[in-house]
A and B are shown apart, each in its own frame.
Chain A
Amino acid sequence: MADKELLALFVQDSTELLRNLEQDILRLEDSSDDTDLLGDIFRYTHTLKGNAGIVGQGLISDFAHEMEDLLDKLRKREISVSTQMVSTLLSSVDLLESMVRACTGGAFPEQQAEACDRLSQAIQRLAQGEEQPISAEAPASSPEKARERPAEPRGGEGNILQISIAFGAGALQSGFDPTVLIEELSYLGRLESVEVDLSRLPPFKELEPGQVYLSWSLRLNCPSGAQPVRDLLSFIPPEHAVDVKVLSALTEEPSTVPSHASSPEPAVSPPAQVLPTNPIQAVAGPSVRGEPPGSSELGPVAAGAAPGPAPTGIPSSPPADGPAPASAWSSPPALESIRVPVSVLDRLMELAGEMVLTRNQLIQSVATGDEALVERACQRVDALTGDLQDAVMATRMQPIRVVFDKFRRTVRDLATRQGKQIRLLADDRGVELDTTVIEAISAPMAHLVRNAVDHGIEFPEKRLEAGKPAVGTIWLRARHEAGQVIVEVKDDGTGLDADKIRAHAVGLGLLKPSRSASLSSAEIHSLLFKPGFSTASQVTDLSGRGVGLDVVHTNLAAIGASIRIDSSPGAGCVFQVTLPLTLAIMSAILVQVEGERFAIPQANIKELIRVRAQDLGTQVIRVGGVDVTWVRGELVSLVRLSDLLGIRSPTFVHPRSGERLPNKRRNIADRRGPDATAPRTDPDRRRMGDRRHSRASALNMVVLATGDCTFALLVDSLLDSVEIVVKPFGRHLRDCQVYAGATVLGDGHVALILDVMGMSRMAFVAEKTATAAAHELGMKSEVPQEEDKLPVVLMAGAKGEVFCLPLHQVRRVLKVDGSDIRTVGRRRVLQRGREVIPMFTVDQVADTVPLPPEQQRFALVFRFGERDMALLCSQVMDIVELEDDLDRFTYRQPGISGSLYYGETQVLVVDPKELVLGVFPHWGDDLEDAGDSRDRPSVLVVDDSAFFLDHIAAMMEEAGYQVSRAADGSQALGLLDSAASPFDLILTDIEMPVMDGFDFVTRLRRDPRFQDIPVIAITTLTGRENLLRARDAGIDAFSVKLDREHVLERCRYYLEHGRETPTEPRELQ
C-alpha cells in the first residue's frame, strides 16, 4: 500500500479512535470505578500508539505512550481519577487529534512539539500522583531532551527482562505484527539485544509469505519493572507463546522513575494556580498556558489574558468546538468518505439484482406485447425504485448521536471554565440524518449548546437560591415528526428575560421604545435572531462575540430548517430546530403561474390559503404601495409570483370560456369592474354570473416562511404535493435568485424549484414596507403624539450618495432591466407592456453625481398629477424612519428639498415635483389646471394625530380638494356647524380622544343638515364587528390610512354618486 494511502487510512482510523477515546474519558469523570471503561480507554490509546508506530509517526506514538503509562496506573488503581486528570487527558486527546491531522499536512509545527512536551510532562507528573497539573512556564529542559525519553531518563538503573516471543504461524492473519510488538517494547525501556531464531524457517519453495516462522528473544532494560511489559503482552492471545523473565531486579521503586531534568520546579508556578481561589480563574489559568492550544476555545483567552507564555500555534480544532468565527461556519470540511454498514451495501446489491431481473421481464413482456405482464413489471419497477431510493439514502444516513457526542466535551469544558455545574442528557432515539444535513447542523447546534451553558444555566449559588438543584441540566433530544426531524436543545436555566431582550433591542436601535410594550413573546424571541443581538451582559469566550443567533438562524434557514424558541422565565428555555431528512430529495408543493409549474419546498410552506374573489376586498389591503394580507392575525406582505418572476403582462384564464386573457388589474386588491365595496347598482349582476363568484376566480396564496420573514405568495393555482429530486442549474441560470434549481416531473417536463430565501430577498422592499406600514398602524393607537418621524425609502445613487423619498409618495418599486428603457431625445421612459412611465435621475436637475446607465437598476414610481413617474436609483436600500429635522439650507437646490441624517450618513431628500418640473417645466401647467378649477370639493379631515392629519390633508390638497382639519369629533361638529357651506366629504379617524369616530358620525347623522355627507373612515380597525358598527353609525366606507389610492378612489366615488340611502343595506365584504 502506498505510504500516502496508509497515512490516510491511519488518519481516518485514528480520528475515530480519538473520538471514542474522548467520549470514554468524558464518561470516566462520572464512573471512575468502571474497570471496563478504563480498559477501553487504555486499549484505544494502545491501538493508536501501535498504529502510529506503523506509519512512522514517532511523536504520536511517543505521546500516546505517555498517556498509556498514566492510564495503566489508573487501571491498576495506583492513582485515582480526578477532574484535573480528565482535563489533562482531554487536552491530550486534542493534541493527538491535531497531531494526527498534521500528518497529512506535511511538516509538524514546532509549537506543537512544545505543547506536546509540556503536556507529556503534565501526564508524567499525574502518573506520579501529583495533583498539581501542568507547569505554567515552558519547561526548564529543552524540548529535545524531553523527547529522547526512553533512552536517557530511564536507562540507568532498570530491570533487565528477558522476553521471548514466538508467534503462531497465523499471527499476521489475526492482525499481530511481531515488529510492532518489538517496537512497542522498545518504548518501555532500552532494548539491549534482539536475537532472531531462524530455526523454523522452511526451505524457500515451501515458504508461505503470509506466515510467521521467526521467533525472537529480547533483552529489555526496563526501569519500571516487568509489569508494563506484561501488560503490553496481555493483549496477545494465549495461542502465541510469549514469555517474560526478570533477569535482574535492580530497583522496584517506581517513584525514582522521573528524571530531574523534566520535573518542574514548583517555585516557577505562580501561587494563584496552586491555590484555586476563584474557580474560573483557577481552571482557566493553567489551561491557558499548559493545555495544548489545540483546544482552541482557549485561543482567544490566551491571546487576551496571557501575553507572556508560549505561542499557541496549533491549528484550531474543528469548528464545532472552536469559537466559531463567521467564516468557519459556512465551510465545514468536505467529507471524502463515509462508513456504510455492510448490511446496507448488501441490500443495495440485492436490489440491483432484482432490478436487472425486472428489466429483463419488462423487455420480454414488451417484446411479446403482453400488456398484463408489462403492467406487472411496471409495478415491480415502481416498488423497486422506492426500495432502492431508501437503500441509497440509508448509505448517506448518519446517526445524529455523532453530533450530540461532540457536545459532551463542549459542555464539560465550558462549564468547568465558568464554574458551573452542568450535566448533559442526550436522547437521540436512533435518529439518522443525511450526511450533508449532519454537517450543516453541527456548527449551529454547537452554538445553541454553548448558549445554553453560557446564558441559560446559572451559577450553582444562584440556582440554589432559586430553589433549583445546583447541577443544571441540558437536554439534547432528537425525534422524528411528520417526515422531519425535530432536534431540541433544552436547559433548566434562567429562561429568556423578555424585559432584558426588549431593553437591549431598544438600546441597539432594533426596536422602537413605543413598540416594545406591545410585542408578543414570539416577537420578542425573534429579536434574538436579529444580527448583532446578544443578551449576555458580559462578553464571554464564546457567545456574545458577534456571532450570534442570527448566524445560527441563517445557517439553518439555508438548509431549509427552521428554529423556534420556547421559554418560561426561571424554568428554562427550549430551542427547537426542525430539520429536513435530506437535502437531495424533498417534498414540495407544485403551483402554477402563467401555465408554468413551479415547485415550492414544503419545509418553507406555512399554510395554503384560498381567497374567494369576492372576499378580496377585505382580505387584501393595499398599504403604502404594497399589498398586504391578514394571516392569522398578522399582517404579511402579499407578493405575486408573476411579479417576482418578472412576467410583464399577466394573464388569467376566463373561468367560463377557458381563454387566457390579459389581466388588467395592476394591484391584487384592485377590484374588477365596479368596486366590490360599492353598492351593487345593478342587481342583475350576480344573477348573470359575475366572474368573481366563479370557483376558478379564487386566489391561491401560499404562506411562506424563511427565517423571520413571512410572506404570502400569490399563485394562479395549486396543483399537487410531490417528492422532487433537486437538480442544480447550469451556469447560465445561477444568477437567478428566484430559483433553487429544477426538477423533472413525472411527465418528463421540467419544473423550476423556487428558492424561498431568494424570493424573500427580492421581495424585501415589499416586506419592509408592510412592516413599516404595520408599525405605523400599530403605533397610532399606542402613543399618538410621540411620533415625529418620517418614513422614507432610502436609495443609493452613484458613488455612495444616498437619497430618500418620503414613503407615502412611493407608489411602487420596479426592478429595471436595460431592455425596459426607451430613449427619445431627452425623454427617457420605462416601458412595461403597454405601460409607459417617464423616468428621471436626480442628477438631471440637481447637482449630484450622475448615475451611469448600468447602475440604473431600480425605479421608485411616484405620482405626478394624474400620471406615474419613475425615479431611478442603483439600489433601494431600506425603509427607515428618520427624525424630521430637515436641513433646508446646506443642500437645498432644485430637486432636493434638503437633507436629513440617517445615523452618520447625510441623506438628500428628493422633491419629486421639482425634479419633474426641472426637466419638463411645462408639465406643471397640467397640475395648475387641475388645481385651479373653481369649485374644488371641500373635505373635512378629522384625526387626533397631528402627523396623520397633516399627511392626509396634504394628500387631499394635492389631489385638488379644499381641506379643513379637526382634531377630534367634537371639534369637527363645531366646524361643521359654523361652516358657511356644507362639506362635500368627511374623512375621519375612529380612535380619537374626547369624541371617537363612531360617536361623531352617530351625532352627525342625527342632524338633518349632514345626513347626506359621505363619511369615509380612515382607520386601522378592520373586522366584521367594526364594519357593522361603522355602518350602524352611518359611515359609508372604510379605508386604511396609508393607502392613498384607495382613499382617493373612495372620495371620487362618493363625490360622484353621493351617499347611498341607508335603507338599502349593503352587503358587507
Chain B
Amino acid sequence: MMPTSSNPAKRQAVQFLVFKVCEAILGIEIDRVSQISRNVTITGVYSAPVHVKGVTNLRGQIVTVLDLASRLGLAAAGIAHGQPMIVASAAGESVGLLVDELDDIVKVESKAIMPVPRHLPRALGSMAWGVFTSSENLVIALDVDRVVG
C-alpha cells in the first residue's frame, strides 16, 4: 500500500508528526502539515458526509474539518473541547484533521518504514502507507491524499 506519486519512502529520512486517535498511534509526513490549531471554532454542516465535522475559518479561508477517527473507521468521537486540529494540504486544498492528542515530531529512516500489516481495520489499512516504530510504539503512517480524498 504505497502511494504511487511522490513516494516519501524514497527519501533518506522522513519527518513525521505523530499523534493519537482512538488509541491508535498515527503519523503523517511533516511537510504535508501546514499548521496545528487548538480551540478551533467549528461550524457544523448539516447534511454533510458523516466524517465531516464542519468548516472553520483559517485566516479568512474556509477549511473543511474532518473527524479523523470517523474517517479511519475507528469511532465517531464527539468533539472534545480543545481537541487539536492538524491542518494538512492535499490536492491544493487545506483540510483540518481532528485528532485526540498530539505526540511528537520524529525523524525516521526510510528503510525503517515497513509495509502495512494486513490485520489493520479496513478503512485504516486502506489509508496507511507504512508503519514504523518510535519510542517503542508502532506508528502507522497515513497517506494524506487518501485520508483527505
Contacts and interface: CB of A to CB of B under 8 A. Distances in A.
A819 B46 CA distance: 15
Contact of A645 (B43, B47, B55): B47
B47 A646 contact: yes
A738 B57 CA distance: 20
Contacts of A733: 45, 48, 52, 55, 64
Contacts of A732: 48-49, 52, 64, 66, 95
Interface in B49-99: 49-50, 52, 54-57, 60-64, 66, 91, 93, 95
B44 interface: yes
A732 B54 CA distance: 10
Interface stretch (A286-294, A617-625, A743-751): A743-751
Nearest to A739: B45
Contact of A736 (B47, B57, B61, B63): B47
B119 to A, nearest CB: 27
Interface in B105-128: none
A233 B91 CA distance: 59
A750 B62 contact: yes
Interface stretch (A334-342, A685-693, A723-731): A723-731
A999 B61 CA distance: 68
Interface SS majority for chain A: mixed
Contacts of B43: 596, 742, 749-752
B46 A647 contact: yes
A415 B52 CA distance: 57
A596 B54 CA distance: 12
A349 B52 CA distance: 41
B45 A736 contact: yes
A974 to B, nearest CB: 57
Interface in A680-737: 727-733, 735-736
Nearest to B91: A731
Interface range on chain B (Cβ under 8 Å from partner): 20 to 34
A645 B54 CA distance: 13
Contacts of B52: 732-733
B134 interface: no
B34 interface: no
Interface in A152-184: none
B104 to A, nearest CB: 28
Contacts of B48: 732-733, 736
Contacts, number: 67
B79 to A, nearest CB: 15
Contacts of B54: 750
B62 to A, nearest CB: 4
A731 to B, nearest CB: 6
B133 interface: no
Nearest to B90: A731
A1018 to B, nearest CB: 37
A646 B44 CA distance: 12
Contact of A596 (B44, B50, B91): B44
Given A750-B57, A752-B55, A730 B62 contact: yes
Interface string A743-776: 1100011111000000000000000000000000
Interface range on chain A (Cβ under 8 Å from partner): 20 to 34
B41 interface: yes
A750 B93 contact: no
Nearest to B41: A749
A729 B46 contact: no
A751 B46 CA distance: 12
A730 B63 contact: yes
Interface string A617-648: 00000000000000000000000000011110
Nearest to A641: B46
A892 to B, nearest CB: 40
A172 to B, nearest CB: 45
Contacts of B61: 727
A764 to B, nearest CB: 16
Contacts of B45: 733, 736, 739, 752
Given A742-B62, A750-B62, A730 B93 contact: yes
A137 to B, nearest CB: 56
Contacts of A738: 46-47
B131 to A, nearest CB: 27
Interface in B11-48: 41, 43-48
Contacts of B50: 819
A1039 B17 CA distance: 66
A730 B95 contact: yes
A750 B46 contact: no
A744 B62 CA distance: 8
Contacts of B49: 732, 735
A749 B57 contact: yes
B145 to A, nearest CB: 12
Nearest to A597: B43
A728 B57 CA distance: 12
B121 to A, nearest CB: 19
A751 B50 CA distance: 19
Nearest to B51: A732
A742 B56 CA distance: 10
Contacts of A729: 55, 62, 64
A1016 B64 CA distance: 54
Residue of B56, B62, B63, B64 most packed against chain A (CB within 10 A): B62
A623 B2 CA distance: 58
A98 B63 CA distance: 44
Contacts of B56: 750
Contacts of A739: 45
A854 B48 CA distance: 18
A752 B44 CA distance: 9
A738 B48 CA distance: 10
15 contacts: A596-B43, A596-B44, A645-B46, A646-B47, A729-B55, A729-B64, A730-B64, A730-B95, A732-B95, A733-B45, A736-B45, A736-B48, A748-B41, A749-B43, A751-B43
Which 4 pairs show the lowest CB-CB distances between chains A and B? A645-B46, A730-B64, A750-B43, A646-B47
Given A731-B64, A738-B46, A751-B43, 6 more contacts: A596-B44, A644-B47, A732-B52, A733-B45, A736-B48, A752-B55
